[in-house]
Amino acid sequence: MPNTSMTNQTVYLTSLDKDVIALAQDFLKYPSITPDDQGCLTHLADLLGQKGWQTHIVQYDDVINLYARMGTGSPHLCFAGHVDVVPTGPVEEWAHHPFGAEIHDGILFGRGIADMKGAIACFLSAVHEFSLPNNASISILLTSDEEGDAINGTKRMVDWMRENQQYPDVFLIGEPTGNTVGSVIQIGRRGSLTGQLTVLGKQGHIAYPENFDNPVTKMVTCAHALKTMALDRAPDPDFEPSRLEFTSIDTGNLASNVIWGKCQGRFGIRFNTQHNATDLSEKVKTICREMTQADPKIRISGDPFLINKSDSKDREWLSCVHRGLRKTTHQSAQETTQGGITDGRFLTQMGPVLEVGLPEQTIHQINEQVSVEDLHRLKACYANILTTFFYDSIDHSLV
């Protein structure tokens, strides 16, 4: 197994002229556990440069980002994503090596194939065979910090793009979506914040209540208040109800006759567009102070975002993706906002964001996998989206 604790400079990406399956296998062989891309983005930049792309490797701390553009004019479509992956888990539990990129019975196994190296390979392969109109542009924005802290990746690249006068009209992200290729368009994502609350008390023997102050009681009371606090004003037609969940309440106490002097709780909130993270954080802090006299540490991952169907530009982009997918699947795609957060929360500041990728059933799991057939199908979806956007009867004055 490759030593993922050290940078691996082995060049697996050797050509963009390969079949989409071989290209996906090349990406998989980089053990790019977040945030170390293992040289993947630099090698890709070299290949794109050889094909005439203007490429920029941008590094913030230990995070490598790649921005590449073909063309100089408008309309300008940007494909965005990430090459970093989550840890493999116990390697011995995998049926096939997580970075071996092996194909068995038509199934390609590997950490990150669904989330989302396979989609990157599909888009690159589709673009490689696509004839871009004169004066139009395609760009690619890839990071190695989506599965990690998401601080030095796409979030900072948005500022870099503005500083360098890079303003795509629309964004397509290759995050995994749905159970079958082309059946789902992700039109938005919920916002997310996490909290950690530490409640202090006084340690003592369980039989002498006058001599201890139980922090667990305060924590449980606070947890109930947070869990039952009013969130949404009404049902949201585009999102699931906002929800707070505690992920742990713990003292570290292994004894049954001792009251511990400190209790820690962790919780997360996924919320829809009826809220913003700043106001929701203040609401949570107020309840925690009232119940425990303690301030929680809040980490904001991002606010929710949603395609704006009342805006002509957003509406036209959504229609374009629907038509492109229908050309491939001959069915109508479902619109959804379910699932985890993505870097779309940063890109939505610049333009309308939609997500279409590979099936999501095995992401982050042991034996992450996609079928070879699905890779070919997603490539076809991307090719039809490109054709629809650049050549069909889309009103480019809107973008």
What are the structural domains, with CATH classification, of the chain?
20-189+305-398 (3.40.630.10), 191-301 (3.30.70.360)
152-168 pLDDT, tens per residue?
A: 999 999 999 999 999 99
Tens-digit pLDDT profile for residues 185-226: 999 999 999 999 999 999 999 999 999 999 999 999 999 999
Residue 179 scores a pLDDT above 90? yes
Contact 212, 202 (CB under 8 A): yes
Catalytic residue among 145, 146, 147, 236: 146
Per-residue pLDDT averaged across 379-399, rounded?
83
Closest of 120, 142, 93 to residue 25, by C-alpha: 120
Of 37, 84, 169, 303, the catalytic one is: 84
Q: pTM of the full predicted structure?
A: 0.91
In this predicted model, what pLDDT tens digit does every residue of 243-253 receive, in sequence order? 999 999 999 99
For residues 176 and 116, the answer to whether their CB atoms sit within 8 Å is: yes
Q: What are phi and psi of 305, to 5 degrees?
A: -140, 155
Evaluate whether 34 touches 86 at the Cβ level (below 8 Å): yes
Over the chain, what is the mean pLDDT? 95
- Is the pLDDT reported for residue 304 higher than 90? yes
Indicate whether 102 pLDDT > 60.
yes
Among residues 328, 359, 384, the alpha carbon closest in space to that of 108 is found at 359
Is residue 245 part of the annotated active site? The answer reads no
User: Residue 1 above 50 pLDDT?
Assistant: no
Structure confidence at residue 393 (pLDDT) = 58
Rounded Cα distance, 304 and 192, in Å:
8
| Residue with the two structure tokens 């996998």 | 369
398 pLDDT more than 80: no
254: pLDDT strictly greater than 70: yes
199: Cα within 13 Å, side-chain hemisphere: 26
Statement: residue 6 has pLDDT above 90? no
Structure tokens at 180: 């079958």
What's the pLDDT tens digit per position in 371-387?
Answer: 999 999 999 999 999 99
61: enclosing H helix or E strand: none
Query: What is the structure's pLDDT at 5?
Result: 37
Where would I find the H helices in the chain? 20-28, 40-50, 118-128, 154-163, 215-227, 277-292, 312-329, 344-347, 372-391
pLDDT number for residue 290: 97
pLDDT in the model for residue 253: 96
**For residue range 137-152, what is the model confidence (pLDDT) as tens digits?**
999 999 999 999 999 9
Summarised one tens digit per residue, pLDDT across range 24-61 is 999 999 999 999 999 999 999 999 999 999 999 999 99
Q: What is the mean pLDDT of residues 86-113?
A: 98
Q: How confident is the model at residue 7 (pLDDT cuts 50, 70, 90)?
A: very low
Q: What is the mean pLDDT of residues 12-22?
A: 97
Separation between Cα atoms, residue 80 and residue 353, nearest integer Å: 10
